[in-house]
Structure 1
Amino acid sequence: MVEGERGSAIVEFVFIALVVFVPLVYLVAGFSAVQRGVFASTAAAREAGRAMGTAPDAAIGQARAEAAVRLAVADQAVDATDVRLAYAPAGADCAAAGSYTPSLTPGEEFSVCVTVTVRVPLLPEFVDTNTATGQFVVERDRYVDG
């Protein structure tokens, strides 16, 4: 062994570990945050749609849908303040959601849209492109009381 190379393997290992493993850990954390947001938005939209679709009236349905959204996003460890619940008419995209309110008439069809802001580690919070939107189409039963 050459006298001047003693201990250089440790230095090389630490350098490679920093160059390879630190970005790898960041990528895993970032992808898991995005996936958690996607799961939260789709589960929240589905549960809110079911809650709204089975409600006797729109006011009770809205309260049930908001509670369902809070539970669904809490299940994925997403902050409930980063969630937006909106409704769109049948056939419309979630971009048109917001001003529509379901009337819950028998046979009515509407979309439930839930948008979750995804917090990716070390990505600035003012970047608004880090959102996940879940959509669920509800078709209210034609043979309901009310």
Structure 2
Amino acid sequence: MKSVIRCERGSATVEFVALALPLFVPIIFFLHQFASVSGQEEIARTLAREGARAFVTSSNQSSAAAAMNAVIFRAGRELGLKEDEFELMAINLECSSSPCYSPNGKIVVTVHFGASKESRAVTASAQEYISPWS
């Protein structure tokens, strides 16, 4: 009977499961959440940057905002956004001058994804300047 109690074969496995595994679960959960938010932040930065480029490369004021929105929605589809994510998205355009499409004008495009059950709110901005020769 004493030889069974002294045998420590397999005790390292039991200690690992009992002590270390509960510590790894929160770390794995945190890393998953961090990767998810980082991916959504990258998508928001890309959409803001591409939208700002589309605005400043347009030929006039009337087509600039439409081009910006079209590029943002098309790029969002290419990046794998689903319809419910588009519903959470808000686009804001800030201009340094009036009208927006003025030579040397600074344009700031902000893309915001509202919080949902699966993710937190994410906001990204990009700025571009309209050509002084336009």
Offset at residue 35 of structure 1 (A)? 1.0
1:133 alignment partner, SS class: strand
Picking from 21, 27, 30, the partner of 2:33 is: 30
Offset at residue 26 of structure 1 (A)? 0.6
One-letter amino acid of the structure 1 residue matched with residue 91 of structure 2: L
Give CA-to-partner distance per residue, 1:21-66, whole Å, 9 cap, x none: 2112111111111211221121111110000111123443223222
Offset at residue 69 of structure 1 (A)? 2.1
In structure 1, the partner of 2:102 is: 105
C-alpha separation between the residues in 2 aligned to 1:37 and 1:74? Answer: 13
Q: Which structure has greater helix proportion?
A: 2
When the two structures are superposed, what TM-score results if normalisation uses the length of structure 2?
0.73
Offset at residue 140 of structure 1 (A)? 0.7
Structure 2, unpaired ranges of 5+: none
In structure 2, the partner of 1:14 is: 17
Contact 1:40–1:116 (CA<8 Å) still a contact in 2? no
C-alpha separation between the residues in 2 aligned to 1:82 and 1:67? Answer: 17
Structure 1, unpaired ranges of 5+: 91-99
In structure 1, the partner of 2:86 is: 80
Name the larger-Rg structure.
2
Give CA-to-partner distance per residue, 1:75-109, whole Å, 9 cap, x none: 5544333321101233xxxxxxxxx9963122222
- Alignment RMSD (CA, Å): 3.0
One-letter amino acid of the structure 1 residue matched with residue 125 of structure 2: Q
When the two structures are superposed, what TM-score results if normalisation uses the length of structure 1?
0.68
Contact 2:95–2:105 (CA<8 Å) still a contact in 1? no
C-alpha separation between the residues in 2 aligned to 1:77 and 1:68? Answer: 14
Aligned length in residues: 128
One-letter amino acid of the structure 2 residue matched with residue 27 of structure 1: F
1:143 aligns with 2:126: no
Contact 1:34–1:118 (CA<8 Å) still a contact in 2? no
One-letter amino acid of the structure 2 residue matched with residue 142 of structure 1: P
Picking from 29, 39, 42, the partner of 1:39 is: 42
Structure 1 residues 21 and 73: CA distance shift in structure 2, 3 A: farther
Identity of aligned residues (%): 24
